[in-house]
Amino acid sequence: MKLMGDNLDYYAQANALRDVNSYLKLILGMGAILVCVVSPGPVAPLLILVTLSAITLVFAKIPVRVYVELLHIPLLFAFFSVIVILFLSGGGEPVLTFSIANVPLTATSGSANLAFLVLVRTFGGMCGLFFIALTTPMIEIFSVMHTLRVPPVLIDLSMLIYHFIFVFIGQSIAIHNAQTIRHGYTSFKRSLNSMAMLGAMLFIRAWKEAEDLIIAMDSRCYDGKLELPGQQNPPKPVAVASVAVYLCLCIAVAIMTSTIVPFR
């Protein structure tokens, strides 16, 4: 069983930009996402998706295979939504007309522009999100949350949830294996049955894990304190400057190209 959670976390820990200041990485990723979402034309998101992918692949040294594998899931969703948009919205001249089973379908230039914009916005946004997810470990994000004065209870909760994700993954693999070796997934009906059992067991095990965790925490004098701010490497001036230049460039491109549309 291949697990994406493992992959993401592994690369977040091991990538080449691991030790770069997290604020910088977050600003770059979030900034890119914002520009993508706000940009009225498709050029800026296109620019962002190309450059940010290049940064993720070249500077953070994420393998292309992993990156494509990660991106293809949200893109598949985006692709289907785009098809719906293409044929349901209107405006402008018809570009493409045909009918399936006597249902006439028409794509106009307006709907094509909108569909393309949605596609590149999603694509660019996902690149920004994956840039953050693949270069910044959760721990760093916790420490950023801490300095941004997010209430401690939220940070503690997120830390415990993060821990339990891995407990859950481990337990579900173990149960799934135990079921598979005894033919738990050989037919559809059995799969449903096994899946239900797996769910129920996960709940019980999670409960037990939580009880054990409390004992373990109490044994170490738990007094309501959990989070500890991590140390940040100070950002290099060159890095700060290049992030600033990059984001300004993106914004400028978004403003200047706001009227450009691919389909007329």
Partner 1 sequence: MTNLLEFDNIHYAYPNCPASLSGVTFSIKKGARVALVGPNGAGKTTLMLMCNGVLEPSKGRVLLDGEPLRYDSRSLREVRKKVGMVFQNSDTQLFAPTVYQDVAFGPLNLGMEPAEIKKVVARALLEVGLAGYEKRPPHQLSGGEKKRAAIAGTLAMDPEILVFDEPTSSLDPAGAADLMELLDELNVKGATIIISTHDVELAYLWADQIILINKGTVLHTGTPEEVFTDPSLVTSSNLRMPAVLELYTELVSRQMVKKTQSPKSVLQLVSSLEENFRKPGADRVIGTITVCDVDATGTGEIKAWIADHPGLRCGAMGTRAKNLAERESIALDFTYGVIDKGILRALVGENSILLTPASMVPHVFRRVETYCRESGNTISVVCLNNTPHQSPSPGDMKEGDQKE
Determine, following the binding rule CB under 8 A, whether residue 80 of this chain makes contact with partner 1. Answer: no
Name residues whose C-beta falls within 8 Å of residue 16's C-beta, 6 or more positions apart in sequence: 59, 60, 61
Is 13 a binder of partner 1 (CB under 8 A)? yes
Return d(Cα 204, Cα 114) in angstroms, integer: 48
- Of these, 105, 178, 228, 252, which contacts partner 1 (CB under 8 A)? 228
Angle 134-251-255 (CA atoms, 0-180°, nearest 5)?
140
Out of 195, 209, 239, 249, name the contact with partner 1 by CB under 8 A: 209
Closest separation in Å from C-beta 230 to partner 1: 7
Minimum CB distance to partner 1, residue 213 (Å): 6
Select from 92, 152, 230, 235 the one that contacts partner 1 (CB under 8 A).
230
Candidate segments 50-58, 111-119, 154-162, 232-240, binder of partner 1 by CB under 8 A: 154-162
Q: Please, are residues 128 and 10 in contact by the beta-carbon 8 Å criterion?
A: no
Residue 163 within binding range of partner 1, rule CB under 8 A: yes
206 belongs to the binding site for partner 1 (CB under 8 A): no
- Taking phi over 0 as left and psi of -120 to 50 as alpha, with beta for the rest, 163 belongs to alpha
Q: Is 40 helix (H, G, I), strand (E, B) or coil?
A: coil
Burial (CB count <10 Å: 0-12, 13-18, 19+), residue 254 = buried
Task: Rank residues 40 and 176 by Cβ distance to partner 1 and give the closer one.
Answer: 176
Min dist. Cβ of residue 231 to partner 1 (A): 9
In sequence order, the 6+-apart residues with CB closer than 8 A to the CB of 235 are 20, 21, 23, 24
- Residue numbers 170-199 binding partner 1 by CB under 8 A: 170
Nearer Cβ to partner 1 (80/166): 166
Nearer to partner 1, 162 or 185 (CB): 162
Q: Where are the alpha helices (DSSP H) in the chain?
A: 4-14, 22-38, 43-54, 64-88, 109-135, 138-147, 152-180, 188-219, 237-256
Binding site for partner 1 (CB under 8 A): 9-10, 13, 137-139, 142, 159-160, 162-163, 166-167, 170, 209, 212-213, 215-226, 228, 230
